[in-house]
Amino acid sequence: MRSNPPSAPGRRQLILAAGGLLAAPAVVSGARAQVPAYPTRPLRLIVPFPPAGAADVLGRVLAEMARPLLGQTIVVENRAGGGGSIGTEATTRAPADGYTFLLGNQSTNAINPEIKRLTYDPATALVPLAAVGNVSNVLYARAGLPVRNLAELVTLAKARPGALTYGTAGMGSSTHLAMLLLESQAGIELTHVPYQGTSPATAAVLAGQIDMMFDTVPTALPHIHGGSVTPIAVTSRGRHARLPEVPSFAESGYPDYEAVLFYALFGPAGLPEAIVTRLGDAMEATIALPAVRAKLAEIGADPLPVRRQDLAAHIAADRARWAGVIRRAGLTLE
């Protein structure tokens, strides 16, 4: 009798598999040893940015959807400040017991160590747990600026060197570096107006106080769809699924331009390998759930197809790329 092929695992099977993983013994120093039950109490996910931003939205989606897999609540704690360095440092100082972990990104793990005087190096003070996704930026202009696309923006900027202004979440932020990369490639000069976060910069564009800014696709969507800003280009290689009408920089004449934020989960260095495996596998299973994939797509986040064991190399390459932008712009350590 011919047997039927096995079907793809559903959400219940993923949950059962993760539950079995969390109960499995680990191998320690070559000998089998029974690992204490984990987790036995709520976990803390540090999001080193303010509420309502892309990082916060991603963190809360993961915290909610991972609860059935871990059997414990994940409490999201916003520890904003220092371009993400305050919350990141708090994670590096947390006990290496698996109950505190971080939702980091390009700023916390690739840019900050190149532009700030930190008490830690994220490459050695944090251990990767799982890749979460990529979030593209979009450049948009205030509604009254007489430009409709990147070519018109560059032409206007060249005709009025230094007259056009742009806002960012602060000096050395990912959006600041994204604009420095554009200035370098387009040969234009703009005036930087740093703010204490993305929200006040956005408010300034909406009020017509500054001319333009980069914003993540998830947080930019309401303003673009509401017609209060003019979208210019997205920073992904191709057009973004949530903004199919907006061309990419590559499509607009800058084939080497790309500025995409990666997001990933990290624990403090020193986590036992068994905990790294248990927590990392559970979070990877959460991220793979169709409901989570759909929610991430809904807010404008794309998959980041990097395995846990390759995540450190991926981040190192991104860090080296932005270090070059920082040096060419002459930015110095804060």
What is residue 25's predicted lDDT score, i.e. its pLDDT? 39
Is residue 54 a contact partner of residue 132, using CB atoms and an 8 Å limit?
no
From 234, 249, 282, give the residue that closes a domain: 234
pLDDT exceeds cutoff 60 at 16 = no
Range of the domain at 92: 11-135+261-329
Band the pLDDT of 35: cuts 50, 70, 90. Answer: low
Are 131 and 265 within one domain?
yes
User: Does residue 246 fall inside a structural domain?
Assistant: no
Q: What is the pLDDT of residues 114-125, one digit of tens each?
A: 999 999 999 999
Task: Assess if residue 228 is contained within a domain.
Answer: yes
Examine the domain organization and report whether 285 and 314 are in the same domain. yes
pLDDT value at 33 more than 90? no
Q: For residue 141, list its beta bridge partners.
A: 212, 230
- pLDDT > 70 fraction of the chain, expressed in percent and rounded: 89
| Domain assignment present for 2 | no
Q: Is residue 174 part of a domain?
A: yes
User: What separation in angstroms does the CA of 10 have from each of 21, 203, 319?
Assistant: 16, 43, 37
The alpha carbon of 14 is separated from its chain's Cα centroid by a whole number of angstroms, namely 25
Per-residue pLDDT at 17 exceeds 90: no
pLDDT at residue 81 greater than cutoff 90: no
Does residue 128 share a domain with residue 19?
yes
Assess whether 230 and 272 both reside in one domain. no
pLDDT of residue 10: 45
Q: With 50 as the cut, is the pLDDT of residue 13 above it?
A: no
**What average pLDDT does range 235-249 have in this prediction?**
93
One-letter identity of residue 67? R
Q: Please tell me which residue, 95 or 299, carries the higher pLDDT value.
A: 95
User: Which residues partner with 127 through β-bridges?
Assistant: 267
Asked if 154 and 81 sit in the same domain, the reply is no
Q: Do residue 129 and residue 144 come from a single domain?
A: no
Which of residues 2 and 233 earns the better pLDDT score?
233
- Max mean pLDDT among 22-26, 128-132, 173-177, 236-240 falls in 128-132
DSSP letters along 91-112, please? Answer: HHTS-SSSSEEEEEEHIIIIIH
Please state the rounded mean pLDDT for residues 272-298.
94
Nearest-angstrom CA–CA distance, 57 and 138: 18
In a domain, 24, yes or no: yes
* β-strands 126-142, 74-78 pairing: unpaired
The candidate with the shortest Cα–Cα distance to 311, out of 133, 178, 86, 135, is 133
Q: Do residue 282 and residue 321 come from a single domain?
A: yes
Is 70 domain-assigned?
yes
- Dihedral (C-alpha) 18, 20, 23, 27: value to the nearest 10 degrees? -90
Residue 239 lies in a domain: no
Confidence label for 196 from pLDDT (cuts 50, 70 and 90): confident
* Prior bond of 268 cis (ω within 30°): no
Whether residues 129 and 151 fall in one domain: no
Classified as helix, coil or strand, 140 is: strand
CATH number of the CATH domain containing 144: 3.40.190.10
Q: How many domains does the chain have?
A: 2
Q: Distance between CA atoms of 96 and 107, rounded to whole angstroms? A: 23
CATH code, domain carrying 297: 3.40.190.150
Interior angle at CA 212, CA 152 and CA 231, nearest 5: 65
Contact in structure between 85 and 48 (CB atoms under 8 Å): yes
Give the list of residues 6+ apart from residue 195 with CB closer than 8 angstroms, or none. 167, 168, 169, 170, 201, 204
Same domain, 284 and 296: yes
Q: pLDDT value at position 51?
A: 87
DSSP 247: P
CA 133 to chain centre: 7
**Is the residue at 254 inside a domain?**
no
pLDDT band at 300 (very low <50, low <70, confident <90, very high): confident
Question: 3-state DSSP: the chain helix, strand, coil percent, rounded to 5?
Answer: 45, 20, 35
Same domain, 49 and 114: yes
| Same structural domain, 123 and 25 | yes
Q: Does residue 276 sit in the same domain as residue 128?
A: yes
